[in-house]
Amino acid sequence: MILADVLASYEKELDAIGEEPEALSFVYRGLKQWDLTHFVLQLRQEVSEEDEKLLALIFTQLKAHKPAQYILGYENFHGLRFQVDERVLIPRPETEELVDLILAENPSTVLKVLDIGTGSGAISVSLKKSRPMWQVTSSDLSADALVLAKENAKLNQVDISFIQSDVFENISGSFDIIVSNPPYISENDKDEVGLNVLTSEPKMALFADEDGLTIYRRIIEDVDKYLNPQGKLYFEIGYKQGEDLRKLLSLHFPNKRVRILKDQFGQDRMVVMDNGK
């Protein structure tokens, strides 16, 4: 059987259970290390027995709602490659926008940066790669996540400090930039989350109490002890949380500027607190 027919058969089954049909060819191409041109040229070719087994294995994992990136073992983010598995969330394109915002608004001079809830290290590694002069510290409650984040820092050849910490528990010193993409999904919004996310990605990195606001509140209540007077606070947020966070930040910091910024899809996605112009 030719490759196109094998793919079509599996893709029909994936579509029927609500999984992305394209994920099969995406993973297959990645594991074969084929570019798109080579893949297209192979579509009319007979599939080898070895590749039949490989495609069947990929299909079985996708059918069990395992994310394509976990099968591949990596995700590309901000022009870099990050190892990912069930220890961490898969980095999202929306988070790339947060990284771009921080880079656009801050100079290449020596700045101290803290990334709270680093996960795979996507934010902190990307920032350090683009701003080698910055002194970057990454923290996470999960020891397993920190192991993987350290591997990603080594993979991308950046020097970052890693600390296991529950928010500010083990943090000392002060910072010019504090950034966090914490767990922010409310249990009430569970039905909005894809089955492959619920099945495979770590729950502690997804869900938070108080309608998803718990970690934000904990950061905001203590951030003045760690943020320099001219420092900036950056959050990635859920699309419903912008106004709640504006109110919370304004309550604790009435003299600071708070901005809610939208992502490429027009959804509220970032909150920034600073001293204004």
List, in sequence order, every residue forming a beta bridge with 77; answer none if it has no partner. Answer: 80
Query: Could you give the CA distance from residue 74 to residue 83 in angstroms, rounded to a whole number?
Result: 4
**143-198 pLDDT per residue, tens:** 999 999 999 999 999 999 999 999 999 999 999 999 999 876 656 665 655 666 66
Mean pLDDT of all residues in 85-98: 94
Mean pLDDT of all residues in 60-89: 95
Rounded to the nearest 10°, the torsion over CA 206, 143, 118, 156 is -130
Per-residue model confidence (pLDDT) at position 79: 96
Instruction: Please name the residue that has the structure tokens 């929306």.
Output: 94
Residue 3 confidence (pLDDT) above 70: yes
CA–chain centroid gap for 110, Å, is: 25
Query: Could you give the CA distance from residue 168 to residue 141 in angstroms, rounded to a whole number?
Result: 10
Per-residue model confidence (pLDDT) at position 199: 65
**124-148 pLDDT per residue, tens:** 999 999 999 999 999 999 999 999 9
Count how many residues are written for the chain: 277
Per-residue model confidence (pLDDT) at position 268: 94
Would you say the pTM of this structure is higher than 0.85? yes
Per-residue model confidence (pLDDT) at position 191: 60
Per-residue model confidence (pLDDT) at position 32: 96
Q: What's the sign of the alpha-carbon dihedral 163, 168, 170, 176?
A: positive
The type of residue at 95 is T
Per-residue model confidence (pLDDT) at position 276: 79
Rounded to the nearest 10°, the torsion over CA 218, 224, 228, 233 is 40
Query: Could you give the CA distance from residue 49 to residue 98 in angstroms, rounded to a whole number?
Result: 44
Which tokens in the block code for residue 124? 């902190």
pLDDT class of 118 with cuts at 50, 70, 90: very high
**199-244 pLDDT per residue, tens:** 655 666 555 556 678 899 999 999 999 999 999 999 999 888 899 9
Query: How many helices (H) does the chain have, and how many strands (E)?
Result: 12, 9
Task: Find the helix packing angle between 49-63 and 3-16, rounded to 10°.
Answer: 10
Q: For residue 90, give Cα distances in angstroms to 133, 135, 142, 215, 273.
A: 27, 25, 15, 19, 26
**20-31 pLDDT per residue, tens:** 999 999 999 999
Per-residue model confidence (pLDDT) at position 85: 94
